[in-house]
């Protein structure tokens, strides 16, 4: 896991055509693609699912890219308490070897409203997959926006075969 500074993060957002809300607006660093993703898969995980099941599902989602950035909507990544490094980091970069650790963190982190880890984004290293996992996810699901229809098809096939409860949305 490597800290990524705000400037590097802004450069990735520019390459991926992602807008980040100005934190001064009081809504945190809300992330969104400038144009709608062609496919959005929403995964529904419920409290009855074990942490192991959640970790297995999210690990499979993370297989869609080699690297992932963990980005908090509120505060800095260093406030997540994942490492002593990265003071003021905008994100943490997880390598292919660290994907399981990221999935485990996502499935076991504190999600109470006052926690900085309640509202997170997980962005694929190429910038074409964006997961939104926030305090609404228990009710509304975990949103996975995919810029590649073929990536969405592969992920959807696995999720369907595994019996994961999901919804699929498309933009023509």
Instruction: Of 152, 151, 157, give the one whose Cα is nearest residue 169.
Output: 152
The pLDDT assigned to 25 comes to 83
Alpha-carbon span 44 to 49, nearest angstrom: 10
Per-block mean pLDDT, blocks of 10 residues, the chain (172 long) = 91 95 84 96 86 94 96 89 78 96 92 83 96 90 96 95 94 87
Whole-model pTM: value is 0.92
């Amino acid at each position: 896991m490597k800290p990524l500074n705000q400037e590097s993060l802004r450069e990735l957002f520019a390459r991926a055509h992602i807008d980040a809300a100005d934190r001064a607006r009081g809504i945190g660093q809300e992330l969104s693609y400038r144009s709608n993703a062609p496919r959005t898969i929403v995964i529904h995980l419920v409290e009855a699912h074990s942490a192991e099941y959640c970790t297995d599902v999210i690990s499979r989602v993370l297989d869609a890219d080699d690297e992932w950035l963990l980005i908090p909507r509120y505060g800095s990544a260093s406030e997540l308490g994942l490492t002593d490094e990265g003071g003021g980091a905008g994100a943490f970069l997880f390598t292919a070897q660290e994907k399981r650790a990221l999935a485990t963190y996502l499935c076991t982190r504190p999600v109470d409203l006052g926690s900085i880890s309640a509202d997170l984004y997980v962005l694929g290293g190429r910038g074409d997959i964006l997961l939104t996992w926030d305090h609404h996810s228990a009710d509304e699901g975990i949103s996975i926006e995919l810029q590649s229809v073929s990536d969405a098809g592969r992920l959807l096939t696995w999720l369907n075969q595994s019996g994961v409860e999901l919804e699929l949305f498309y933009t023509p």
